[in-house]
């Protein structure tokens, strides 16, 4: 291996001598280049080199060659010698990069991304290896459509060889007949070729115009006609000849020749693609887009033919009717659209949807219909429309009221889904029709969607609004809400019941706080109902961390303040069971601490309750920790002294949890970094205390060792390292080296 690497380095001598001779790199820089190249060459000569080794070597050589070019340009500007002959150093860098790419693609033949990087580099540098590389990648990846497209594009654009590009496309279509991109790009290439021939005729004065439709608007054309005197005519005779030729029958046939050929090409490619992909809807829409962007003969007839084929093959699919309706209006999802939507356009689109519903009365089509009207409403609210309603000659059309009609029609026809129902209710809430939304959600929850989780959560949130508006609700009103909730939770499967409970427990807690501030009696009534929900072994199988004996006993307490504190502590103590609950618990803690912080009695009650439950159940080793949250809150509110006193109370318990230890260490470490020796001693004490329980935690030992490296002495760091290696006999490899 060493002999091969040395041989390769010796072959670089002419290049390196030339770089030094020209003054582009100094001797020290060349020595560093040799050192880096030797390192990369040794990596490539390993028994199993990695792809990253080749990529890193290529990136280094590219950066080196870019630096050489920059210095060469700067040297040329300084000396003014622009006719400097190229030497070996001008070619060696590119040749070496191509050779590394060749080795990489030989070893990793299946990496298509690496092949494309190789091809792109050859194309950018216009290297002769391009043809050979294209042949290789086609041989290894004949089933990748992008390879054929890239090869044909290179032949067409760079080599200007339309015949070779066409042959490559034909071979690609035989290898990948079901590729939409290949069919579309083949059609684009053929039309582009015809357009180039047309442009050549125009330059030679034998024809005029191109196959590309003019992008000028009608107003611009009218302005140019009205202000002809502002434009200078360069050749009056040619202009007169062109005008006369337009009226000549033979010239008119020449004018239409390329348009007819373009139409023939499109018909041929379209027919072949439909046979290969009869069920592809997106392919036909792409052909229509190409047809509309080009000026072909009898294009309207061809467009109608494609539309008729689409209606014949896809009339039973909702996506066809959705696409057809959106073709009648402007692009609603394009933020750059400035054109206003007319009432006739909206009316035609709605007629298409209504026709589709007669043929395909499905929930998916109703969903597309509703999304279209929502897009119309959003487009109108952006300010693009001058009026609130769309007015036609016969009637006034309001998309908002029509959307409500669509939702009702979906329910009447039995095509409503849970998602559509939630959209309907949410839309009513946006319009401020809370009573109608409440009536509808009660109807749906008691009927077809009696076990729909999202609808029940939505219903409970609506009921919450009504309860909070009514300052004095009685126990019967609360029972009318929780009784249906209890019944549906008993019917649902365990996983779905757990989901709906986790969605609603925040609302229950906030409702409790609301009544706590207004009426203690009503809060106790709410506690009784919650106790009834959970006390009857509800969710005990799936939510054991919420519903356990100690928590149920807390619900029997008469003091709502103590209940709230206990609810917070017990409810979030095992948050790692469900990671999706983290935001819910953070929200609960934030609400509670924000309120309790202004009432010392209540905050002390929260702290005492958390200490009691922490002593009984222990703390968290990983994940959320309530004691950590309280310590951080006290630190921000009362300062370091109070926080230190509080965390010492927590740490005095039998099992406070590793999360609390880490938080306290971080707290003291931030102060020790400023030079406080007392805090540094506290950090060491915290580490030692934590290690008495968690002596097999590798990360804890690593943190202790890193702390001593940064803030201690070499003796203390070595002592910690020795103790760690002695304790962690099975995890020695995970520890940092002593040389660090």
pLDDT in tens, 598-609: 667 667 777 787
Q: Can you give the pLDDT at residue 191?
A: 92
The per-residue pLDDT for range 64-94, each reduced to its tens digit, is 999 999 999 888 888 776 667 888 988 999 9
CA distance 299 to 295: 7
Q: Can you give the pLDDT at residue 621?
A: 67
The per-residue pLDDT for range 236-295, each reduced to its tens digit, is 444 445 444 544 555 455 556 778 888 899 999 999 999 999 999 999 999 999 998 888
The per-residue pLDDT for range 511-565, each reduced to its tens digit, is 655 555 555 455 555 555 555 555 443 433 334 433 333 333 333 333 444 445 5
Average pLDDT of 87-115? 93
3-class state of residue 676 by DSSP: coil
3-class state of residue 578 by DSSP: coil
Query: Would you list the DSSP string of 124-173?
Result: HHT-TTHHHHHHHHHHH-TT-HHHHHHHHHHHHHTS--HHHHHHHHHHHH
Q: Can you give the pLDDT at residue 353?
A: 93
The one-character DSSP state at 413 is: T
The tokens describing 637, both together, are: 């509110």
Burial 31-56 (b: 16+ CB within 10 A, else e): eebeeebeebbeebeeeebeeebbee
Place of tokens 């950066």: 63
Q: Which residues contact 490 (CB under 8 A, 6 or more apart)?
A: 538
Q: Can you give the pLDDT at residue 577?
A: 38
CB 51 within 8 A of CB 114: yes
| Main-chain dihedrals φ then ψ at residue 212, nearest 5 degrees | -90, 130
The tokens describing 241, both together, are: 């000849």
Least confident of 96-100, 200-204, 302-306, 619-623: 619-623
The per-residue pLDDT for range 4-39, each reduced to its tens digit, is 999 989 999 999 999 999 889 999 999 999 999 999
The tokens describing 540, both together, are: 């005990």
pTM above 0.75, yes or no: no
Q: Can you give the pLDDT at residue 718?
A: 87
Q: pLDDT tier at 125 (50, 70, 90 boundaries)?
A: very high
Q: Is the pLDDT of residue 482 over 60?
A: yes
> Residue 739 belongs to what H/E stretch?
none
Q: pLDDT tier at 476 (50, 70, 90 boundaries)?
A: low
CB 270 within 8 A of CB 253: no
The tokens describing 599, both together, are: 């009432």
- In percent, how much of the chain has pLDDT > 90? 34
CB 255 within 8 A of CB 207: yes
CA distance 545 to 423: 33
Q: Can you give the pLDDT at residue 683?
A: 87
Q: Is the pLDDT of residue 440 over 70?
A: yes
Mean pLDDT of the chain: 78
The per-residue pLDDT for range 367-417, each reduced to its tens digit, is 999 999 998 888 877 654 444 455 554 555 688 989 999 999 999 998 999
CB 614 within 8 A of CB 627: yes
Average pLDDT of 696-717? 87
The tokens describing 309, both together, are: 């084929």
Q: What are the residue boundaries of the structural domains of the chain, listed by start?
A: 195-212+237-314
Distances (CA, A) of 526 to 87, 359, 465, 510, 513: 89, 51, 16, 11, 11
Q: Can you give the pLDDT at residue 491?
A: 72
Greater confidence (253 vs 670) lies with 670
Long-range contacts: 554-562, Cβ < 8 Å, 24+? 555/527, 555/530, 555/531, 556/531, 558/524, 560/512, 560/516, 560/520, 560/523, 560/524, 560/527, 561/516, 561/602, 561/605, 562/605, 562/609
Q: Can you give the pLDDT at residue 231?
A: 40
Q: Is the pLDDT of residue 574 over 50?
A: no
Place of tokens 């611009």: 220
């Amino acid at each position: 291996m060493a002999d091969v690497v040395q041989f390769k380095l010796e072959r670089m001598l002419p290049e390196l001598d030339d770089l030094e001779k020209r003054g582009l790199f100094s001797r020290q820089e060349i020595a560093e280049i040799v050192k880096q190249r030797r390192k990369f060459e040794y990596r490539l000569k390993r028994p199993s080199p990695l792809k990253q080794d080749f990529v890193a070597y290529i990136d280094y050589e590219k950066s080196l060659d870019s630096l050489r070019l920059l210095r060469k340009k700067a040297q040329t500007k300084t000396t003014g010698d622009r006719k400097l002959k190229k030497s070996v150093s001008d070619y060696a860098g590119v040749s070496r990069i191509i050779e590394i790419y060749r080795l990489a693609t030989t070893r990793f033949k299946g990496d298509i991304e690496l092949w494309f990087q190789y091809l792109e580099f050859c194309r950018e540098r216009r290297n002769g290896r391009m043809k050979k590389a294209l042949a290789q990648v086609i041989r290894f990846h004949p089933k990748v459509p992008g390879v054929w497209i890239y090869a044909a594009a290179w032949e067409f654009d760079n080599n200007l060889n339309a015949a070779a590009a066409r042959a490559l496309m034909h071979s690609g279509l035989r290898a990948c007949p079901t590729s939409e991109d290949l069919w579309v790009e083949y059609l684009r290439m053929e039309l582009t070729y015809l357009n180039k021939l047309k442009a050549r005729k125009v330059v030679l004065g034998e024809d005029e115009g191109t196959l590309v439709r003019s992008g000028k608007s009608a107003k611009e054309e009218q302005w140019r006609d009205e202000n002809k005197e502002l434009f200078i005519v360069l050749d009056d005779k040619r202009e007169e000849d062109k005008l006369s030729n337009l009226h000549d029958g033979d010239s008119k046939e020449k004018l239409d020749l390329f348009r007819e050929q373009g139409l023939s090409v499109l018909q041929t490619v379209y027919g072949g693609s439909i046979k290969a992909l009869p069920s592809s809807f997106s392919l036909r829409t792409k052909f229509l887009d190409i047809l509309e962007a080009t000026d072909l003969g009898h294009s309207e007839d061809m467009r109608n033919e494609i539309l008729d084929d689409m209606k014949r093959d896809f009339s039973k699919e909702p996506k066809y009717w959705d696409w057809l309706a959106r073709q009648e209006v402007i692009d609603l999802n394009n933020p750059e659209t400035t054109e206003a939507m007319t009432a006739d356009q909206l009316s035609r689109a709605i007629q298409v949807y209504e026709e589709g519903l007669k043929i395909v009365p499905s929930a998916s089509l109703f969903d597309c219909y509703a999304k279209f009207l929502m897009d119309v409403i959003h487009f109108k609210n952006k300010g693009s429309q001058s009026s609130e309603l769309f007015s036609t000659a016969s009637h006034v059309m309001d998309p908002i009221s029509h959307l409500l009609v669509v939702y009702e029609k979906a329910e009447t026809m039995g095509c409503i889904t849970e998602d559509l129902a939630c959209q309907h209710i949410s839309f009513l809430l946006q319009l401020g029709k809370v009573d109608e939304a409440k009536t509808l959600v009660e109807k749906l929850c008691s009927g077809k969607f009696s076990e729909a989780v999202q609808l029940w959560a939505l219903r409970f949130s609506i009921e919450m609004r009504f309860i909070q508006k009514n300052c004095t609700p009685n126990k019967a009103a609360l029972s009318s809400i929780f009784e249906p909730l209890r019944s549906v939770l008993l019917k649902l499967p365990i996983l779905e019941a757990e989901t709906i409970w986790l969605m609603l427990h925040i609302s229950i807690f906030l409702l409790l706080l609301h009544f706590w501030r207004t009426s203690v009696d009503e809060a106790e009534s709410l506690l009784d109902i919650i106790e009834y929900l959970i006390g009857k072994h509800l969710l005990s199988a799936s939510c054991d961390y919420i519903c356990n004996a100690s928590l149920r006993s807390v619900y029997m307490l008469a003091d709502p303040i103590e209940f709230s504190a206990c609810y917070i502590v017990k409810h979030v103590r095992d948050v790692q069971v469900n990671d999706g609950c983290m935001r819910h618990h953070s929200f609960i803690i934030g609400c509670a601490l924000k309120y309790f912080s202004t009432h010392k009695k209540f905050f002390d009650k929260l702290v005492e309750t958390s200490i009691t439950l922490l002593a009984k159940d222990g703390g968290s080793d990983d994940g959320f920790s309530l004691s950590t949250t309280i310590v951080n809150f006290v630190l921000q509110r009362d300062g370091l002294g109070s926080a230190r006193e509080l965390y010492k109370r927590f740490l005095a318990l039998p099992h406070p949890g590793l999360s609390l230890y880490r938080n306290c260490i971080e707290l003291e470490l931030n102060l020790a970094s400023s030079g406080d020796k007392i805090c540094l001693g506290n950090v060491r004490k915290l580490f030692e205390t934590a290690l008495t329980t968690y002596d097999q935690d590798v990360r804890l030992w690593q943190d202790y060792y890193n702390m001593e490296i940064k803030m201690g002495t070499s003796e203390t760091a070595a002592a910690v390292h020795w103790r760690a290696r002695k304790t962690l006999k099975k995890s020695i490899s995970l520890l940092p080296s002593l040389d660090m």
